[in-house]
């Protein structure tokens, strides 16, 4: 019995491979070799390849959520909202492959839990509580901000940003500022 610590070893080995070489280079045999066990252990401890990727996704989600929660709350909610967006972008650009596994939709329609965007949702609801939201449903605003930030980061990861010839950070600020101006009143 290899115990639960090998579960962790396997998941971090798989996460390293995904982060370093991409999802397509993830093979159960190389993961098993890296950890020093046989592929049978992966099957009995975690499951098949899809389950392993799911486990890596859960682990990555934990890191992502931790960094979103690390964004503090100031007296200005709009500043918090933008800081959440900036942290979102920063984590995605630092872990592009893991981000793709989380939100890339590789597996078709999946059950995405709302924990990763909970801080974002909180900020938007705080704005809504102040009566400054230009639309009635705060969740639609959450969806809008999430879409903008997600789209910008995924396109930047894919290399689409250089195409329109702008500095990345400035362009991201424009997107944040644009959505804020469009959805919340001063």
Is residue 179 part of the contact set for its own copies (CB under 8 A)? yes
Nearer CB in complex with DNA: 31/121: 31
Minimum distance from CB of 8 to its own copies (Å)? 27
**Binds DNA (CB under 7 A): choice among 19, 23, 34, 39:** 39
Under the binding rule (CB under 8 A), the answer on residue 19 touching its own copies is no
Q: Interior CA angle at 140 toward 180 and 175, to 5°?
A: 30
- Which residue in 39, 4, 3 sits closest to 14, CA to CA? 39
Binding mask 95-114 for its own copies (x = CB under 8 A): -x---x--xxx--xxxxxxx
* Cα 122 off chain centre by: 17
- How far apart are CB 95 and its own copies at their closest, in Å? 14
- C-alpha of 85 from chain center: 11
Q: Which is nearer to its own copies, 55 or 142 (CB)?
A: 142
Site membership for its own copies, residue 152 (CB under 8 A): yes
Note whether 123 binds its own copies by CB under 8 A. Answer: no
Q: Which of 8, 38, 140, 185 binds DNA (CB under 7 A)?
A: 38
CA distance 47 to 55: 10
With binding defined as CB under 7 A, does residue 43 bind DNA? yes
Place of tokens 């078709």: 108
Rounded-to-integer distance, Cα 68 and Cα 35, Å: 30
- Angle among Cα 52, 20, 47 to the nearest 5 degrees reads 10
Stretch that binds DNA, among 35-43, 104-112, 135-143, 154-162 (CB under 7 A): 35-43
Measured N-to-C along each axis, helices 49-69 and 28-35 cross at an angle, to the nearest 10 degrees, of: 70
Q: Note the residues at the interface with DNA (CB under 7 A).
A: 1-2, 26-30, 37-41, 43-44, 48-50
């Amino acid at each position: 019995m290899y115990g639960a610590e090998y579960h962790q070893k396997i998941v971090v080995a798989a996460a390293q491979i995904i982060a370093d070489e991409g999802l397509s280079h993830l093979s159960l045999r190389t993961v098993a070799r890296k950890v020093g066990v046989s592929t049978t252990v992966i099957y009995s401890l975690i499951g098949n390849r899809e389950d392993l990727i799911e486990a890596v996704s859960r682990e990555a989600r934990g890191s992502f959520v931790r960094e979103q929660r690390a964004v503090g709350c100031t007296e200005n909610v709009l500043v918090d909202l933008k800081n959440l967006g900036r942290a979102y972008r920063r984590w995605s650009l630092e872990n592009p492959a893991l981000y793709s596994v989380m939100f890339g939709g590789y597996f078709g329609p999946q059950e995405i839990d709302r924990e990763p965007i909970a801080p974002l949702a909180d900020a938007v609801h705080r704005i809504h509580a102040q009566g400054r939201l230009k639309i009635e449903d705060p969740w639609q605003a959450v969806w809008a901000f999430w879409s903008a930030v997600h789209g910008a980061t995924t396109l930047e990861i894919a290399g689409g940003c250089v195409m329109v010839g702008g500095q990345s950070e400035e362009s991201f600020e424009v997107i944040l500022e644009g959505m804020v101006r469009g959805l919340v009143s001063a």
